[in-house]
Amino acid sequence: MVGEFPVYESGMPDGSAEQGAINRIAEDNDLNTLIHESVVGAGIRGDSWFKSYYAPRIDVSEVPAGADVEAKPEPIIEAVDAALVFPELSRGSNKRFKAVNIAWIEWVLTNDVEGLEKYAMKPDERYTEVPHLVVERHVPGFILYERYRMTERGVDNRFGTPISTYYIAEKVATGRVEDVIETGVPRILVHHAPYKTVDDGWEGISGIEKLESVLAAINDRMVQIDYILWKHSDPTAYGPDLPTDESGGVRFGGKYIPVDKADVAPGYMTWNSQLDGAFKQLDMLLGIVYQMSETPQWLFGTTLASDKGGTGTSHTDSGAIKARFMPILSKVKRIRNYFDRAIRDAIWTAQELEVYANKGVDGFVPYVPQYPSIQWKDGIPHDDKEMAEVAQIRTGGKATWSVKDAIKALDDVDGTKADAIISRIDADEERVNGTVDASIFNSGGGA
């Protein structure tokens, strides 16, 4: 997805405030790393969520009182744990959301001991932790904060793991200055990026769900092979009844069964455990995993299954390499369809939040938020010579690349950095070659 960094573009000139804002948001929020981590997580969970908001990035809650720490607000894009997100569908739709709730449990230390018995307790025993449900409800244009006191209900073991459950009791104060915040953006600030979905629901489908049964079969087979190899690493021996005392008698590492028949050579009891068949089945199961995940196993530089499909290094032409990587490229493109929209919405929303929050603020340069486009790269190496020859043929030998575009592509930088590089190159040329005063050509006199 982001092995080669994508380019975030506004469609405006490189030196414009709009393009500068998009570059700043992408860099400050480290979007490339955020996308990578979210794609990996979505492959496990099935869903990823992004939230855009405008707030200080530095947490000053633990700074001593009276200390002056400057924390300026800025547009932030961050991932939200999918386990804490509870969307509400619009009526008659399986995809659109009318609200997105982010809810989590927060334990609060309280002194709720009533009556005179609290005076008979130690000071540190008078305090108990009480669970509270914190709800951050996102609707178009607003964020609503709610808080509820909870009581413990018990533990649910139906799914093979203990899960604590609670009853929602009365609604309590949130402790915030305002419980309803106007965002200035006519959209929900939380954006959904599933790993894969179908048309009858919004829930994402992970890449592991369909592999769980195969992975369980692989685990069982490996455990059985390991047990067989361990069991027969020191097999039981048989033979004549030999002395086994400490005065020089014959000893064996494992068990020994004496045989009374004369002149019987010692031997080992072995069992035909059909390990070849077990390894063949394991080989087949590993191949099924790669096939179901649409991933050539040679992609990682090593192969395990017998049907290895080559090493992936026998092609030197860029077209042949791309054809070779077609399965994984098609998979990446399908995943990218979901994340492209979510990231673009998050960047656009972050711009609108910044402009709305700084309306009328001195020193802020206003700009018009632009819906960005993302130029993704597939990571396949290109044959530069081949591309140049094709361009030369198509244009009749004319130049097809400006200096700025060449620097942007070869050095993997944006337009602003490319302009700075060109300025330094021009300065170097002027310093080395010098300048000529054009007035010397205007002096009088005939030849």
Give residue-wise pLDDT tens across range 84-120.
999 999 999 999 999 999 999 998 877 665 555 555 5
Q: Rounded to an integer, what distance in angstroms lies between the CA atom of residue 415 and that of residue 404? A: 8
3-state secondary structure of 226: helix
pLDDT digit string (tens) for 275-322?
Answer: 888 888 888 898 888 888 888 777 666 566 555 555 555 555 666 777
Q: Which residue has the tokens 């006199």?
A: 445
CB under 8 Å to 255, separation ≥6 — which residues? 236, 237
| Reported confidence tier of residue 269, pLDDT bands at 50, 70, 90 | low
CA 394 – CA 391 distance, rounded (Å): 5
Coil, strand, or helix at residue 349? helix
> Residue 102: enclosing H or E segment and its boundaries?
strand 97-110
The 10 Å CB-count burial string (b at 16+, else e) for 252-261 is beeebeeeee
3-state DSSP assignment of residue 385: helix
Q: Do 85 and 102 contact (CB within 8 A), yes or no?
A: yes
Report helix angle 212-231 to 275-292, nearest 10. Answer: 160
What backbone phi and psi angles, to 5 degrees, belong to 105? -100, 130
Rounded Cα–Cα distance for residues 45 and 209 (Å): 9
Q: What is the pLDDT of residue 129?
A: 83
What does residue 154 show for φ and ψ, rounded to 5 degrees?
145, -165
Nearest to 290 by CA among 225, 381, 218: 218
Contact of 188 with 97, CB cutoff 8 Å:
yes
Tokens of 438: 């054009």
Which range, of 47-51, 61-65, 202-206, 401-405, averages the lowest pLDDT? Answer: 401-405
Structural contact between residues 345 and 49, judged by C-beta atoms closer than 8 angstroms: no
Q: What residues does each domain of the chain span?
A: 7-60+67-207+334-355, 236-268, 383-434
pLDDT-derived band at 403 (thresholds 50, 70, 90) equals confident
Q: Output the pLDDT for position 447.
A: 43
33-67 residue pLDDT tens: 999 999 999 999 999 999 999 999 998 888 888 88
Q: Model confidence at 174, in pLDDT bands (50, 70, 90)?
A: very high
Separation of alpha carbons 192 and 94, rounded Å: 13
| CB-based contact 244:250 (threshold 8 Å) | yes
Instruction: Tell which wins on pLDDT, 230 or 434.
Output: 230
Least Cα distance to 35 among 338, 409, 373 occurs for 338
Q: Is the pLDDT of residue 27 over 80?
A: yes
- Whole-Å CA distances, 52 to 86, 138, 211, 339: 17, 11, 33, 15
The residue type of 369 is P
Whether 224 and 202 have beta carbons less than 8 Å apart is answered as: no
* Cβ contact 175:147 at 8 Å: yes
**What integer is the mean pLDDT of 19-42?**
95
Provide the phi-psi class of 319: left if phi over 0, else alpha when psi is between -120 and 50, else beta: alpha
Residue 291 region by backbone torsions, left for phi larger than 0, else alpha for psi between -120 and 50, else beta: alpha
Per-residue pLDDT tens for 123-153?
Answer: 556 677 889 999 999 999 999 999 999 998 8
Look-up of token digits 């004319």? 398
